[in-house]
Amino acid sequence: MKKYLIILLLISGGLRAQQVTVNVSVAPPMTPYLLDNIFKTGKFSIQIKNNTRETIQLKLTGSIAGDNGLWLKTKPNYHPPKPIILNPNEIRILKNWQELQDFLDGNNVDYSEIDPQTIARNGFPEGTYNICVKALDYLTNTPLSFEEPLGCSNAIHVRYTEPPVILSPVCDEEVHGSNLIFRWSGVVGAATKVTYSLKIVELPFPEADPNVFIDAVEVPFFEQKELNINNLVYNASLPKLKPGKSYAIRIKATDPQHKLIFLNEGKSAVCKFMVTDLPHESH
């Protein structure tokens, strides 16, 4: 008899906890700025359904957790100014900032070992994340929906964008300084416009470390910014490359809309190339 009573209590408790059904939907692709994606792009929505014949006053709490150990979750004392009111058997889809009640706003969440300002500035680290949402009674904090993994989103993959790779000249290549073409790999799969800058620094001696001098020299030998294509023809109208000299070159990718996060700040590996005398023309 005692066994059956325990089962009945568990069933009735489960039914009370499912007074509200919560479904979370996230539309890809998502950038590392997950909070901006959630509240400002319309890619995130929550469907809540009242499974009872009574009007329910509720609030939402949530969490974002990654397979990299990072998490943030709504503070236990979070209490929005007013409840979400669901009529009997009502289904509602919440999308905008006001409807979502900022339960994942930076001021209303606790973080794992990461600085909130770092997330706001640089986005979330690489990893696979899930966003989970629960419905609680507005006055008593009693759970109205099931615990995780119910009420959780599909997996959200945050990946940083690879910086460009210099294709030509290859590192340590000897080149002629006339009509030289610099080429680099473009950013693959970017949903936003990417621009490139090319920087060339003259090295003081052939054995100089290009990684040291690319930033140490205040005034570069040549620099071109806001290139919309992934090549540059270095023609006679540009500063003349000197035979016998060595140069360091670096390409940097930039997203003017700040939607992409690049590894190494979008900077390619630094390469060195040497300029030789032009070959003699045959007559």
Return the CATH number at 119. Answer: 2.60.40
Answer yes or no: do 26 and 131 share one domain.
yes
Does the pLDDT of residue 281 top 90, yes or no? no
In the chain, the number of structural domains is 2
**Greatest mean pLDDT among 86-95, 116-125, 174-183, 191-200:** 86-95
Return the CATH number at 225. Answer: 2.60.40.10
Q: Which of 158, 188, 210 is the last residue of a domain?
A: 158
Q: Cα separation of 118 and 126, whole Å?
A: 14
Q: Which is more confident, 16 or 213? A: 213
Q: Which of 139, 158, 177 is the last residue of a domain?
A: 158
pLDDT in tens, 51-61: 999 999 999 99
- Could you give the count of Cα atoms lying within 13 Å of 73 in the half-sphere of its Cβ? 13
H or E element, residue 1: none
pLDDT (0 to 100) of residue 86: 96
DSSP string, 77-128: T---SSPEEE-TT-EEEE-SHHHHTTTTSGGGEEESSS-HHHHHHH-PPSEE
Lowest mean pLDDT among 32-41, 204-213, 252-261: 32-41
Q: Does a structural domain hold residue 11? A: no
Q: What is the DSSP letter of 239?
A: P
28 exposed, middle or buried (CB, 10 Å; 0-12, 13-18, 19+)? exposed
Tokens standing for residue 58: 């509720």
Q: Which of 158, 186, 209 is the last residue of a domain?
A: 158
pLDDT in tens, 234-244: 998 999 999 99
Answer yes or no: do 45 and 116 share one domain.
yes
Q: Please give the mean pLDDT across all residues of the chain.
A: 85
Q: Does a structural domain hold residue 8? A: no
Answer yes or no: do 31 and 62 share one domain.
yes
Q: Which is more confident, 141 or 177? A: 141
Strand order in the sheet with 195-202: 173-176, 271-276, 246-254, 195-202, 222-227
Q: Does a structural domain hold residue 71? A: yes
Answer yes or no: do 252 and 193 share one domain.
yes
Answer yes or no: do 210 and 245 share one domain.
yes
Q: Does a structural domain hold residue 200? A: yes
> What is the residue range of 228's domain?
166-276
pTM of the model: 0.66
pLDDT (0 to 100) of residue 278: 59
Does the pLDDT of residue 258 top 50, yes or no? yes
pLDDT (0 to 100) of residue 2: 45
| SS3 state at 7 | helix
Does the pLDDT of residue 148 top 90, yes or no? no
Residue 101's φ and ψ, nearest 5 degrees, are 65, 25
